[in-house]
Amino acid sequence: MNMPDKHGKFIEYGGKFAPEVLMPAIEELEKGFKRYVKDPGFRKELDYYLKEFAGRPTPLYYARNLTEKVGGAKIYLKREDLVHGGSHKLNNTLGQALLAKKMGKKRIIAETGAGQHGVATAMAASAAGIECEVYMGTEDIERQKLNVFRMDLMDAKIIPVESGSCTLKDAINEAMRDWLTNVETTYYLIGSIVGPHPYPLMVREFQKIIGEETRKQIIDKEGVLPDYIVACVGGGSNAIGISHEFLGDEVELVGVEAGGKGIESGEHGATLSAGTSGVLHGTYSKLLQDKYGQINISYSIAAGLDYPGVGPELSYLAEKGRLKVASVTDDEALEAFKLLSRVEGIVPALESAHAVYHAVEMAKELDEDKTIIVNLSGRGDKDVFVVAEALGVKL
């Protein structure tokens, strides 16, 4: 369903925009992925780790208290917050780490901004028994000490990046340079449905298990498919992960972006809502840029939504009208963060709180016989310091 063409394009979006010298590495990855994705031995090993290590399948939980409080459509939560490590990210890093091993690579590299992808990569690399090095800007290392220490505990080596703004985009450049130099031994593990083909397709294939489980679970509980599926969108991996299985059905799919301080303020991460087309990090998609093509700095209270690009498949689905796009501000996400914690006893990741807020707004307007499934992409333990500060609470 919804396969890109042989150039990795979803009609106009996607492709491989990388320097010529990187093409052999990308092609080797494409071959490796194609070969192993259908290999029963690989699938068996991945399924083993997804079940025994990651804790899948995750529950589809009927949020009874929230539904009763809001009044309107039934709200279900797909509990990716219960995946080992606290988010959906491990589904992808496990898949790629095991692929790296099959491809005979000795070393995994990754880059990370807030550290969440770095931690998920370190976990998967440890489980797969393969060496791991994570590029991180010195600015981010300073801001994310806890995640740096976590990676260190799991035996991942942090490589500080001191060029440019010393943040994620500089770390990405350095990781690319490393891959180029060490392609024989090294696997570059990307964390969302972004980057040059085959990454957007591959990450989707590793995340689509969320939707496959969800379909069985909702049919089991309600006897019919849901009316709506709502997920937050940073790069788009949890959104495509839960949505892919339903692309051919009469289910409305909704992606919720970071409205930050309001789209008019210019401080946001709402790429699909407010971006224009261009090339970023190897793919043609929507992005936040000025009229000269310079990338604008994105902003969100949720680190995972703070990215000026978005996956090409989502740009395509949004343009086609198959994916509805909304945005939720920092303040609204904080409100949903508090609400879900209070009424359900579930502290959501700030990213996921964006989806929760929008789902609640939708539910209010809908009849009680409608159902909405929210992808609860992660748990909020990582966010308590940021939330406390935003609420003026001193810890």
Ligand X SMILES: *Cc1c(COP(=O)(O)O)cnc(C)c1O
The residue (of 87 and 285) whose beta carbon lies closer to ligand X is 87
What tokens were used for 331? 């303040």
Angle at 226 between CA 224 and CA 230, to 5 degrees: 165
The residue within the footprint of ligand X, chosen from 198, 312, 378, 383 (CB under 6 A), is: 378
The residue (of 207 and 289) whose beta carbon lies closer to ligand X is 207
**H or E segment and range at residue 204:** helix 199-207
Where residue 5 falls (left for φ over 0; alpha for ψ -120 to 50; beta otherwise) is beta
Query: Token match 């491809």: residue?
Result: 103
Question: With CB under 6 A as the contact rule, which of the stretches 37-45, 104-112, 229-237, 271-279 interacts with ligand X?
Answer: 229-237
The residue number with the shortest CB distance to ligand X is: 378
DSSP string, 323-384: EEEEEEEHHHHHHHHHHHHHHHS--B-HHHHHHHHHHHHHHHTS-TT-EEEEEE-BBSGGGH
The residue (of 272 and 349) whose beta carbon lies closer to ligand X is 349
The residue within the footprint of ligand X, chosen from 192, 283, 289, 300 (CB under 6 A), is: 192
The residue (of 141 and 190) whose beta carbon lies closer to ligand X is 190
Q: How many CB atoms lie within 10 A of CB 136?
A: 30
Alpha carbon 383 to its chain's center:
16
Q: Which of 80, 111, 174, 351 is catalytic?
A: 111
Report the C-alpha gap between 240 and 202 in whole angstroms. Answer: 12
113 makes contact with ligand X (CB under 6 A) = no
Report the C-alpha gap between 306 and 301 in whole angstroms. Answer: 8
The residue within the footprint of ligand X, chosen from 87, 91, 96, 329 (CB under 6 A), is: 87
238 makes contact with ligand X (CB under 6 A) = yes
Report the C-alpha gap between 298 and 184 in whole angstroms. Answer: 35
Strand order in the sheet with 283-287: 9-10, 13-14, 283-287, 276-280
351 makes contact with ligand X (CB under 6 A) = yes
The residue (of 141 and 314) whose beta carbon lies closer to ligand X is 314
The residue within the footprint of ligand X, chosen from 352, 357, 362, 374 (CB under 6 A), is: 352
377 catalytically annotated: yes
The residue (of 101 and 228) whose beta carbon lies closer to ligand X is 228
Find residue 161's DSSP bridge partners.
137
CB of 233 to ligand X, least distance (A): 5
CB of 144 to ligand X, least distance (A): 13
Site string for ligand X, 299-318 (x = CB under 6 A): -----xx-------------
Q: Is the CA virtual torsion 22, 28, 32, 34 positive or negative?
A: positive
Residues 6+ positions from 161 with CB-CB distance below 8 Å = 135, 136, 137, 138, 170, 171, 174
Asked if 15 and 283 touch (Cβ cutoff 8 Å), the reply is yes
The residue within the footprint of ligand X, chosen from 58, 116, 186, 371 (CB under 6 A), is: 116
352 catalytically annotated: no
Question: With CB under 6 A as the contact rule, which of the stretches 156-164, 181-189, 267-275, 345-353 interacts with ligand X?
Answer: 345-353
Site for ligand X, residues 129 to 158, rule: CB under 6 A: none
User: Residue 57: helix, strand or coil by DSSP?
Assistant: coil
The residue (of 183 and 191) whose beta carbon lies closer to ligand X is 191
94 makes contact with ligand X (CB under 6 A) = no
CB of 193 to ligand X, least distance (A): 6
The residue within the footprint of ligand X, chosen from 8, 115, 236, 309 (CB under 6 A), is: 236
Q: Which of 16, 74, 89, 208 is catalytic?
A: 89
162 catalytically annotated: no
The residue within the footprint of ligand X, chosen from 15, 195, 200, 234 (CB under 6 A), is: 234
CB of 270 to ligand X, least distance (A): 13
User: How far apart are the two ends of the chain, measured CA to CA in Å?
Assistant: 48
289 makes contact with ligand X (CB under 6 A) = no
**H or E segment and range at residue 258:** strand 252-260
235 makes contact with ligand X (CB under 6 A) = yes
Query: Token match 């740009």: residue?
Result: 315
Pick the closest to residue 192 from 116, 271, 284, 245 (CA basis): 116
Asked if 83 and 56 touch (Cβ cutoff 8 Å), the reply is yes
Q: Give the binding-site size for ligand X (rule: CB under 6 A).
A: 19
Which parts of this chain interact with ligand X (CB under 6 A)? Answer: 87, 89, 116, 192, 232-239, 304-305, 349, 351-352, 377-378
Q: Which residues are catalytic?
A: 89, 111, 377
